[in-house]
Amino acid sequence: MTTQTFSPADPAAGRRWLWGGVFLGLGLGGFFDGIVIHQILQWHHMVSSEYLPNTVRNLQINTFADGLFHAVTYVFTVLGLFLLWSGTRGQHVTWRTSALIGTLLFGWGLFNVVEGLIDHQILGVHHVRPGPYQLAYDLGFLIWGAVMLLVGWGLMQQPAEQPVASSTARER
């Protein structure tokens, strides 16, 4: 009664699965930011600090930059799905739902922290919500990302479940 798990059977598949979850989380975090903050709430666009969206031309520039941003998040999402698929394909594995959720939260948190530090603080190309309390919104975004990183990391570190024999092995 043997069952494959990611670690002993194929460490490379385990890494692909892990990175797949992280990239999928990066993509989902980017899509949430772009859809909710850029489009629904309309708090900012990708380069709204450099090109105030108060003219048609500047709105066109911001919309184009948002489109490029969404294209990158799309690539992250597709890459994540491919890595998840290739890391589990053909394997009879036992894996925890919490591990998948952990990788997604880790990737999303990584997105928030990197995007928040680079775009909001270092480059200043936009802020979460410009105007009064701008720094509070930016810091809240970073804290939200850091919490997701830590919770995701914790979920990823939980011990794996004990292997369960596959139905084929049980039938033998």
Q: Each residue of 21-73: pLDDT tens digit?
A: 999 999 999 999 999 999 999 999 999 999 999 999 999 999 999 999 999 99
- Whether 21 and 95 have beta carbons less than 8 Å apart is answered as no
Q: How far apart are CA 26 and CA 95, in angstroms?
A: 21
Q: What is the mean pLDDT of residues 94-106?
A: 89
The C-alpha angle with vertex 25 and arms to 133 and 35, in degrees rounded to 5, equals 50
- Whether 16 and 82 have beta carbons less than 8 Å apart is answered as no
Cα 112 off chain centre by: 8
* pLDDT-derived band at 3, boundaries 50, 70, 90: very low
Encoding tokens for residue 75? 């690539």
Asked if pLDDT for residue 171 goes beyond 80, the answer is no
Asked if pLDDT for residue 81 goes beyond 70, the answer is yes
Burial of 111 (0-12, 13-18, 19+ CB in 10 A): buried
Task: Please give the model's pTM, rounded to 2 decimal places.
Answer: 0.82
Q: What is the CA radius of gyration of the chain?
A: 20
* pLDDT-derived band at 8, boundaries 50, 70, 90: very low
Q: Each residue of 117-170: pLDDT tens digit?
A: 999 999 999 999 999 999 999 999 999 999 999 999 999 987 665 544 445 444
| Residue 64: per-residue pLDDT | 97
| Residue 32: per-residue pLDDT | 97
